[in-house]
Chain A
Amino acid sequence: MKVETCNISRHETFQGPYRRLILDASGIGCAGVPGQFVHLRIPRLDGAVLRRPFSLYRAGKDGIEVLYKPVGRGTDAMLSMVQGDSLSLIGPLGNGFPVCGKKRTPVLVAGGYGVAPLSFLALTSARPGIIFIGGARADDVLCVDDFKSRGWDVRVTTEDGSLGAKGRVTVAIDAWLQSPESRGDREWYACGPDGLLKAVGERAAANGWNAWLSLDKHMGCGVGACLACVQRVRNADGTEGWVRVCRDGPVFEARSIVW
């Protein structure tokens, strides 16, 4: 974990309203693994005291990439950032996804830009698996080629039916679970809205599989100090307590989460 001042190498449209931000943060890039995030200080956002967290879409010696969609004051302001702008990052933060068991096939579930860390995970995965990508419309289904080019089985759903099967991502998951091809030892990974994560966790648990969920909570400090982004969990001894999504997560095994 470090504070790194970096420059914007590229800032471009990724797909529809989604943007890709490429930063020359090589220190964080070299250390970052799938599932970790950076806490980004948005330049020229007057009156802002909080950074904004973004999962790593790519990380390496040249720097990092993140995907985002303007959904509020902070991400709206990010649209005005241009190549060459300097900004401050803290990262890499949090814990990455656990490695998939040797005899298990990875099953990934993504909602919207939640696909970003899963695409990074697929890059480092020992073998291809299956990924379910859900979105409201075709524009919200990102990174399909990232997976296809690596031999992954990609199942797309959209709520309006403009791409892939119509309905929520669970429609495709449930159909697959009913089929013989779902048999075998699986390890699940998911990133998206809470409803999606809960649904994935329930289905994985019903089959006795691990499901590693990457949670998204409004964060303050990003390092575990302020206790804003806490999540209720069940401890090993049966008691309940809080964990910090930023520091103890953002990835948690589904059965520990108290929704």
Chain B
Amino acid sequence: MVKSSSKTPDTTAPSMAVDIGGIRMRNPVMVASGTFGYGPEYADLVDLNALGALVVKGIRIAPWDGNPTPRMVEVPGGLVNAIGLQGPGVDGFIADYLPFLRGYEVPVIVNIWGRSLDEYREVAQRLDGVPGIAGIELNISCPNVKEGGLAFGTQPDMARSVIAAVRRATRLPLIPKLSPNVSDIRVFAAIAEAEGADAISLINSYPAMVIDVRTRRPVLANRVGGLSGPAIHPIAVKLVWEAARAVKIPVVGMGGITGPQEALEFLIAGARAVAVGTANFTDPTTALRVRDGIRDYLAEQGMHDIGELIGSLAT
């Protein structure tokens, strides 16, 4: 006689919810700024509510034209872009896109940038108290604008000033986005934490250049751009690992995620959430595949909560 097992299989799905500096997300998989527009662009292809959070393309105080074309070139393992933060400005965003986004439950994180300290402060103030915004990602690491952008993210004193200024200007959860182009990421992570950031995200694209050898001209009109995609993933894992050990605030890891594998690396390295960027162009459903893959991995490992995985690197 076969004795039936008294143990019933554990069918409870592992808990995937995370809290990123006060932003409660159903799962840890976000989409990265600049790779998902403002939401409507991908809404026919992806259930926005299935995303952990949606980070919209960078916004400044007024509309911005961005760079001339060509703005993007594919390279092995990634792409180099110099879009130059083209955008509708904060009022255009609030009028034209936010009403659409309010129709969804997904947390909306607004990526902001400025050409000066005042501009950063003004755009943060303008967004403070506007319904439908879950948090602010502070872009101090865009390699593609001449003023502002990267200059704020690669000099510790300037990073400190801009994070402090924006912190005073908003009550929203604040997530500075760090550049990989620094000699010690821990310095910038610690500055963000000390100045009151609620979380940090990293990495932005890596400064890069492509030359057309037939014409001997740079391929991009801006001459240089930012490298993203699978090529930067191992660089990002190392920086996320270092940053996560340097601060107590949550870390959002990104750079070259194409599937669950790369996202799991970030989580194991200490990231509390991850963001899919360039891979949205390859496969718009990447974030959903990553979410499902993380859940399956947790179940396989016998983990009940994603918190068991985060920072579980064996050394």
A binds B: yes
Q: Which residues of A approach B to under 8 Å, CB–CB?
A: 1-3, 41, 46-51, 73, 88, 90, 217-218, 220-231, 241-242, 247
A218 touches B70 (CB 8 A): yes
Instruction: Name the interface residues of B91-136: CB closer than 8 Å to any CB of A.
Output: none
Q: How many residues on the B side are at the interface (Cβ–Cβ under 8 A)? A: 34
Any A CB within 8 A of the CB of B34: yes
Given A2-B44, A226-B35: 20 more A-B contacts, CB < 8 Å: A41-B283, A47-B230, A49-B74, A49-B78, A49-B279, A50-B74, A88-B283, A217-B69, A221-B41, A221-B280, A221-B281, A222-B281, A223-B41, A225-B35, A225-B57, A225-B280, A226-B72, A226-B81, A226-B281, A228-B72
Residue among A3, A227, A241 making CB contact with B284, cutoff 8 Å? A3
Q: How far is the CB of A94 from chain B (nearest CB, A)?
A: 13
Within 8 A of A (CB), among B49-74: 57, 65-66, 69-74
| 27 CB < 8 A contacts A-B | A3-B285, A47-B76, A47-B78, A48-B282, A49-B79, A49-B279, A50-B79, A90-B284, A218-B73, A220-B72, A221-B35, A222-B281, A223-B45, A225-B35, A225-B42, A225-B57, A225-B280, A226-B34, A226-B72, A226-B81, A227-B57, A227-B66, A227-B83, A228-B70, A230-B69, A231-B69, A247-B41
Q: B66, A51: Cβ atoms under 8 Å?
A: no
Given the complex, which residues of B lie within 8 Å of A48, measured CB to CB? 74, 282
Give Cα A230 to B282, complex, Å. Answer: 19
Output the nearest chain A residue to B65 by Cβ-Cβ distance.
A242
Q: Which residue of A lies closest to B75 (CB)?
A: A47
How long is the Cα–Cα vector from A230 to B69 in the complex, in angstroms? Answer: 7
- Give the complex CA separation of A242 and B66 in angstroms: 9
Q: Is the interface of B mostly helix, strand, loop or mixed?
A: loop
Q: Inside 8 A of A247's CB, which chain B residues have their CB?
A: 41
Residue of A nearest to B68 (CB): A232
Cross-interface CB contact of B86 among A47, A50, A51, A227, cutoff 8 Å: A227
Q: Which of A2, A217, A229 contacts B45 (CB 8 A)?
A: A2
Q: In the complex, are the beta carbons of B71 and A225 less than 8 A apart?
A: no
Chain B residues near A50: list those with CB within 8 A. Answer: 74, 79, 281-282
Report yes or no: A225 in contact with B41, Cβ–Cβ below 8 A.
Answer: yes
Measured in the bound complex, the distance between the Cα atoms of B285 and A3 in whole Å is: 9
Chain A residues with CB below 8 A from B45, complex form: 1-3, 90, 223
Task: With both chains docked as a complex, state the minimum distance between the C-beta of B37 and any C-beta of chain A, in angstroms.
Answer: 3
| B87 nearest in chain A by CB position | A227
A50 vs B45: C-alpha distance when bound (angstroms):
17
**For the complex of A and B, 3 pairs with smallest distance between CB atoms:** A225-B37, A228-B72, A47-B76
Q: Tell me the nearest residue of chain A to B84, going by C-beta.
A: A227
CB distance B42 to A223 under 8 Å? Answer: yes
- Residues of A contacting B284 with CB < 8 Å? 3, 90, 223
Complex interface residues of chain B between 235 and 283 (CB less than 8 A to chain A): 278-283
With known contacts A3-B284, A49-B279, A227–B71 Cβ distance under 8 A:
yes
Query: Contact between A220 and B281 (Cβ–Cβ < 8 Å)?
Result: yes
Would you give the shortest CB distance from B222 to chain A, in whole angstroms? 12
Is B36 part of the binding interface, using a Cβ–Cβ cutoff of 8 Å? yes
CA distance A258 to B229 in the complex (A): 32
CB neighbors of A among B28-45 (8 A): 34-37, 41-42, 44-45
